[in-house]
Structure 1
Amino acid sequence: MIIWRGWGILVLLMTGLPAGLGAFAAQALLGEDMAQLGAGIGIVVGGVASFLVGQRLNAPVQGYHPQTGQPVLYKNRHTLFFIPMQYCGVLLLVLGAVVGFTSLPNLL
């Protein structure tokens, strides 16, 4: 079961699509052993996109209370598994680096 709030589900789309395309392109261009490297690069790209989109979407917005007119800071919540999108991006960067580095013995 996937748990998300707001646009947090976009993390899966922004990561899955580049990882799949990267694996497919690396396999087609460089051989079957390089699919893992392409997937790792795709996960890194998805992590960067998730971080940037999360920073933008989760930024607090200045507003005013409708009854009192006092300034209020509205906070947005876009999460995946209770983790804000921008932090998911950082985790994906680490995961992509690990996947990419574990494929390096295939280069030799």
Structure 2
Amino acid sequence: MIIWSGWGMLSALIAAAGLFGSVLLDPALAHSGIPTPTGVVLVWVAAAGFNWWLGTRLNNRPGRELLDPRIGQIVVLRGRHTLSWIPMQYYSVMMVLLGALAVLGAMHAGSSGHPV
């Protein structure tokens, strides 16, 4: 079950786009002579950077200040953008780790004599 608030679901969509982009870009780069893990790293770092930028931009917006007449104090209402209760910018760390795991998998497959 996926639970999100605000625009937090965009983190999953950005990760899916990163996966799709790495699947498309990797063979094209390998065909042009660039090593296979390079495309995966570039795509995942770009996806993580965009996700971090978007998440911090959305979650650091100033809140709306309201005066509570019953207690006479100011209450700040702020929107949150989360995926499974985790702020969306923190999913960027997971995206970088996925890119690193993909590179390790490609290096392991390449060193074992199997085609990448």
Q: 1:80 aligns with which of 71, 75, 83?
A: 83
Distance 1:59 1:73 in 2: 13
**Structure 1 residues without counterparts, runs of 5 or longer:** none
TM-score (norm 1): 0.73
Query: Structure 2 vs 1, CA of residues 24 and 62 (structure 1 numbering), >3 Å: closer, same or farther?
Result: closer
Kindly indicate whether the alpha-carbon contact (under 8 Å) linking 1:37 and 1:103 is maintained by their aligned counterparts in 2: no
By how many angstroms is 1:11 displaced?
A: 0.8
Query: Structure 2 vs 1, CA of residues 83 and 107 (structure 1 numbering), >3 Å: closer, same or farther?
Result: same
TM-score (norm 2): 0.69
Kindly indicate whether the alpha-carbon contact (under 8 Å) linking 2:40 and 2:103 is maintained by their aligned counterparts in 1: yes
Distance 2:18 2:3 in 1: 22
Query: Structure 2 vs 1, CA of residues 50 and 90 (structure 1 numbering), >3 Å: closer, same or farther?
Result: same
> Which residue is equivalent to 1:95?
98
Identity level (%): 31
Matched, 1:56 2:57: yes
Distance 1:63 1:3 in 2: 24
Kindly indicate whether the alpha-carbon contact (under 8 Å) linking 1:40 and 1:98 is maintained by their aligned counterparts in 2: no
**Structure 2 residues without counterparts, runs of 5 or longer:** 112-116
Kindly indicate whether the alpha-carbon contact (under 8 Å) linking 2:55 and 2:87 is maintained by their aligned counterparts in 1: yes
Decide which structure has the larger Cα Rg and report it: 2
Alignment of 1:62-73 (within 5 A): 62-65=63-66, 71-73=74-76
By how many angstroms is 1:49 displaced?
A: 1.2
Kindly indicate whether the alpha-carbon contact (under 8 Å) linking 2:65 and 2:77 is maintained by their aligned counterparts in 1: no
Kindly indicate whether the alpha-carbon contact (under 8 Å) linking 1:15 and 1:45 is maintained by their aligned counterparts in 2: no
Q: Which moved more, 1:96-105 or 1:74-83?
A: 96-105
Distance 1:99 1:74 in 2: 40
